Structure 1
């Protein structure tokens, strides 16, 4: 059994999407402590200069809590600047105008949410639907057998292969028997000159739209082949 362990993310990068698609079981580690270094509240996008992060602000007093208990900071308008950033960097992408109204409405609904987790999973569900991606996952908080030690958890669940979130060593305990997935980052045409890897799936969606499968299919075709 292939097990994938990740923190919840509203817009995973292609590596993390790859291990989610390759795994037989996906567990989102919502009981782990929130970290500013993680991608629970942020995602990387393409810019003319390279890349930058878009962020969801977190309430200061919640920064030492479990991810599932962290609240968003709505004391100031943070959605408008985020949407302006997306517009500035993606308005020339092929499918940006097609998705922009729905993306805008989704992000503006953030103020209807208090907790980061609920809003984050809502955005993720929407992006996966746009890209025709279906992933079943479980929350660590609902699993009696969950253990923060990935080695113990892997043994408890009978996993013979364990994948962990990309570049997560600074905020998640790393397993001794962590496996390296069959992954080669797809290189595709971006709307700025050159190619920058490790962008989130928004980058693929705005460029490929309904044909995003041309990129996401590459994440599993080697394994299936």
Structure 2
């Protein structure tokens, strides 16, 4: 099944479950929208659910719109250093943080400019970590209602999430906050490690 998806920042677990089960077509011809997973993801810290947000440079045209492919990250602020420090603090004691640390850390050391390209890079790296090759097919035009593929672009919406019945797995701060579902794939990777791919394949998707 061909699935149409937005490349997002360290996608949530439902998105990655869709990724490993389907042939993916990346939506790259749409307009950038605020308050989506395009430039944010959620992890679990000692204080609970925590958002990592990538600052972007706004340079919309006359109508105030900007193509996703044209969005640049605002690297005048050291967000990469802050995000990595937060991940270290949150997951240093997790079972697999040290196992994947050398794979993930370089993503927070480069001077990437394009948000779209950076998101695709994070997805590729995670795919390599869990042992699956992520396709790189991309859209040529924007289709409001695709006819030849399943539209899963809604998975990028941070404010209007569909409820997903995801199987619980052990989390670092579960004793404080209970199980927090559908966080960034990083949470699953650092907590489940080599079991992550099997976990993703077993998750039911209702679309």
Give RMSD over aligned pairs. Answer: 2.7
Q: From 44, 56, 59, give the equivalent of 1:58.
A: 56
Counterpart of 1:7?
Answer: 6
Instruction: Give the Cα separation in 1 of the matches to 2:200 and 2:159.
Output: 27
Please give the residue correspondences for 1:38-49 in structure 2 after superposition, counting only pairs within 5 Å: 38-49=36-47
User: Any unmatched runs of 5+ in structure 1?
Assistant: 172-179
Residue 71 of structure 2 is matched in structure 1 by 70
Deviations along 1:141-182, whole A, 9 cap, x unmatched?
Answer: xx2xx44312xx21xx2x4x54443373979xxxxxxxx9xx
Q: Give the corresponding residue for 2:121.
A: 122
After superposition, where does 1:194-209 map in structure 2 within 5 Å? 194-209=178-193
- Aligned match of 2:103: 102
Count of paired positions: 199
Matched, 1:131 2:141: no
Match of residue 195, structure 2, among 211, 218, 222: 211
Corresponding residue number in structure 2 for 1:174: none
Are the equivalent residues in 2 in contact too, given 1:5–1:165 (CA < 8 A)?
no
* Alpha-carbon distance between aligned partners in 1 of 2:20 and 2:93, rounded to the nearest angstrom: 30
Cα deviation 1:8-56 (Å, max 9, x = unaligned) = 1131112112333343x42222111112211111111112232111122
Query: What SS is found at the alignment partner of 1:34?
Result: coil
The alignment status of 1:149 with 2:147, answered yes or no, reads no
The question of whether the paired residues in 2 share the 8 Å contact of 1:41 and 1:56 is answered with: yes
Unaligned runs of 5+ in 2: none
The two structures have a TM-score, normalised by structure 1, of 0.77
Contact 1:205 1:212 in 2 (8 A): yes
Counterpart residue number, 1:166: 155
TM-score, normalization by structure 2: 0.83
